[in-house]
């Protein structure tokens, strides 16, 4: 199971300069008018509205973003979920690791065993599995049983097996197709388990859509794009990439400059940036020289932080900005798209603030 990144402010700057794995099927985080914010008086997290007023009072030691109408928070040392009205829901398994809800279910892991909970906060898929993926739009998830030589298969949230365990590795479905590994080679299957491509001798294959896939040919080679039949349509020419999102794939060329392409390999943003992150909600953070900027896919600069302010992203109409003031403190602020101040706080760099567009 993939783990979230709990990025500190200092680690964020480094993360902008590093590659990361491609995300699985995308979904919306910011479907609620609440933004996590830290109250320096109570030293607790809560949620503010667009005007900077607390809509859910600060009472949590950590607070995640809303996804599927629920947010994961920690209160009195225990995890729980909170809805948009501030109602709290206890988790069914104590001392476990929980993920966000996606398509009505959330992954839970305890003692190296995984399962699912539903929106009634009941165990939907018992924690009998070594590995499970999240539930995708076609209601499938990959799984691997807790036996030594178990293979990967695909099932429904209730455990009904749809594709029998037979794969060495498996990734989530994206647009109706999934990347798997069988007999040491990559393949692409549909929801019936039928192959559109197989025996692909690559180091990695990553879904961009149902029809286009990023591939890495060998450990010293770069990345290119192929179609669902395994035909290479863009040669391996990029040295690094960031997750494909909002139809845009940030990639780094051999000169070390970042730009962006679409799933067909056509250039969307020019290769001139020293660092670029994943597109989230239509925007990305880039670094050009000493300046950090928030731009859209048309290269319109939404926020220019210069060398002092680092935009962390645009989230449902508000921009989160970080200003590192010292080695132990940083100032965070929410502002709207016109630059109007909404809310700010100063906190430790290890404040466990989660940056969702950089996590897995």
- Domain membership flag for residue 44: no
Residue 188: how many other CB atoms lie within 10 Å: 23
Rounded alpha-carbon distances, angstroms, from residue 85 to 28, 71, 117, 120? 19, 11, 21, 16
Query: Minimal CA–CA distance to 21: which of 298, 274, 260, 216?
Result: 216
Number of domains in the chain: 1
- Domain membership flag for residue 262: yes
- Domain membership flag for residue 4: yes
- Higher pLDDT: 129 or 22? It is 129
pLDDT tens by residue, 238-271:
999 999 988 999 999 999 999 999 999 999 999 9
- Domain membership flag for residue 302: yes
Give yes or no for residue 230 having a pLDDT over 80: yes
| pTM (2 d.p.) | 0.86
Rounded CA-CA distance 286/159 in Å is 42
Rounded CA-CA distance 82/117 in Å is 15
- Domain span holding position 3: 1-20+248-360
Query: Minimal CA–CA distance to 352: which of 18, 61, 149, 102?
Result: 61
pLDDT tens by residue, 192-202:
999 999 999 99
Rounded CA-CA distance 236/245 in Å is 20
Give yes or no for residue 203 having a pLDDT over 90: yes
Percent of the chain with pLDDT over 90: 76
- Domain membership flag for residue 177: no
Give yes or no for residue 5 having a pLDDT over 60: no
- Domain membership flag for residue 209: no
- Domain membership flag for residue 157: no
- Domain membership flag for residue 275: yes
- CB-based contacts of 41, cutoff 8 Å, min separation 6: none
């Amino acid at each position: 199971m993939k783990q979230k990144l709990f990025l500190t402010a200092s680690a964020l700057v480094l993360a902008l300069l590093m590659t990361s794995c491609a995300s699985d099927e995308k979904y919306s985080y910011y479907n609620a008018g609440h933004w996590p914010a830290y109250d320096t008086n109570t030293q607790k997290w809560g949620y503010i509205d667009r005007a900077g007023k607390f809509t859910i009072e600060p009472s949590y030691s950590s607070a995640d973003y809303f996804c599927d109408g629920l947010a994961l928070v920690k209160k009195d040392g225990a995890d729980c979920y909170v809805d948009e009205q501030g109602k709290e829901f206890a988790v069914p398994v104590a001392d476990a690791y929980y993920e966000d809800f996606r398509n009505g279910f959330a992954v839970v892991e305890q003692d190296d065993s995984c399962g699912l909970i539903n929106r009634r906060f009941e165990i939907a898929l018992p924690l009998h599995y070594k590995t499970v993926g999240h539930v995708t739009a076609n209601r499938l998830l990959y799984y691997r049983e807790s036996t030594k030589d178990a293979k990967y298969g695909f099932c429904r949230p209730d455990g009904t097996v749809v594709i029998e365990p037979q794969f060495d590795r498996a990734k989530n479905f994206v647009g109706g197709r999934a990347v798997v590994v069988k007999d040491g080679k990559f393949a692409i299957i549909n929801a019936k388990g039928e192959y559109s491509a197989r025996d692909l001798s690559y180091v990695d294959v990553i879904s961009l859509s149902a029809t286009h896939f990023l591939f890495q040919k060998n450990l010293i080679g770069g990345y290119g794009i192929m179609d669902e039949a395994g035909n290479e349509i863009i040669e391996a020419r990029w040295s690094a990439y960031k997750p494909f999102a909002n139809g845009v794939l940030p990639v780094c060329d051999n000169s070390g400059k970042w730009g962006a392409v679409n799933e067909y390999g056509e250039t969307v943003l020019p290769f001139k940036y020293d660092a670029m992150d994943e597109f989230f909600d239509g925007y990305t953070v880039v670094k050009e020289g000493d300046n950090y900027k928030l731009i859209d896919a048309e290269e319109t600069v939404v926020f220019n932080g210069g060398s002092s302010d680092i935009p962390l992203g645009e989230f449902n109409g508000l921009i989160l900005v970080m200003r590192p003031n010292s080695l132990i403190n940083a100032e965070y602020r929410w502002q709207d798209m016109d630059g109007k101040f909404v809310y700010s706080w100063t906190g430790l760099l290890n404040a466990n603030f989660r940056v969702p567009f950089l996590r897995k």
